[in-house]
Structure 1
């Protein structure tokens, strides 16, 4: 039997277990800063997709309070009304915490349905909150963005699962 040296730790360092999910969510939010020229809001909120992917993949990893700083960072990176994503993401994680106590089991389809409802509620909430700062556009313009987010969710889950395997292997 081969013994490991004393300096080898089988538990991944805390900076990886906590830092990778936070960094990937912030990177998802930073996608909005890339130079895309669009006449309508077609890009989904990749930060929200990553947050939902991490939360639904690893429910025990994050408490609901983590959505506040991540949402504030998303507001700063995307240019949305300050505090809107922070409030909506925190409310979303609080609802997901409550839902975890009610649901006995979940599969990929249930997670996708939960994410679809959360994405739609956050998009509508963002639209309503943007009216307070004078940036409210057409409600119909939300449809392509929400549809794109719903179609991008499985890819976000795949990326999250790959990052999760990588961070636990380190």
Structure 2
């Protein structure tokens, strides 16, 4: 027997919460940055910077989602989680987002391959910049060739991360 007090609430006309709309992308980038704090033992840097990957994925998937300054707080969180010098990801992520904005304003339309190329350039810039900041602050004498496999692995992982962000985005905007 069906309980008369329980009735179906239609989903049409309902909207997701503001926290769900605005908070989900931020939380996923923070969780991605948190993954670098996991205890992984390796001879060289192999873990992709998931925070950066998620930031780029959200930015290229939903250009109207964030303003450029979002790189500052998310970069600070990434710096704290990764152990990079404070301010390095803040600077690099913000410059990468400014670069993406500049490219977007010059292009009439973008394709999937162009997004992948834009992300690849941003990944190379941010990883090489992180290496530079670590080197000038006395973080060791790591050579560029040592982080090259991490760059390649991160660039190859980008399409998978974008697809996961698209799935999360469908849930995010669903009422």
List, as ranges, runs of 4+ consecutive aligned residues in structure 1 with deviation greater than 3 Å.
none
Please give the alpha-carbon distance, in whole angstroms, between the structure 1 residues aligned to 2:160 and 2:111. Answer: 16
Residues matched between the structures, number: 167
Please give the alpha-carbon distance, in whole angstroms, between the structure 1 residues aligned to 2:99 and 2:169. Answer: 23
Counterpart pick for 2:72 among 43, 68, 71? 68
Structural mapping, 1:23-102, within 5 Å? 23-102=27-106
Counterpart pick for 1:146 among 138, 142, 151? 151
Does residue 134 (structure 1) correspond to residue 122 (structure 2)? The answer is: no
Cα pair 2:15 2:174 within 8 Å, conserved: no
Please give the alpha-carbon distance, in whole angstroms, between the structure 1 residues aligned to 2:55 and 2:13. Answer: 29
Q: What is the RMSD computed on CA atoms of the aligned residues? A: 1.8
- Consecutive unaligned residues of structure 1, counting only runs of 5 or more, are none
Q: CA deviation at 1:151?
A: 1.1
Cα pair 2:72 2:91 within 8 Å, conserved: yes
For residues 50-71 of structure 1, give each alpha carbon's deviation from its aligned partner in whole angstroms, at most 9, with x where no partner exists.
0000000000110001110000
TM-score, normalised with respect to structure 1:
0.93
Counterpart pick for 2:165 among 152, 157, 160? 160
Please give the alpha-carbon distance, in whole angstroms, between the structure 1 residues aligned to 2:13 and 2:83. Answer: 42
Cα pair 2:32 2:54 within 8 Å, conserved: yes
Q: CA deviation at 1:9?
A: 5.5
Q: Which has the larger radius of gyration?
A: 2
- Consecutive unaligned residues of structure 2, counting only runs of 5 or more, are 1-7
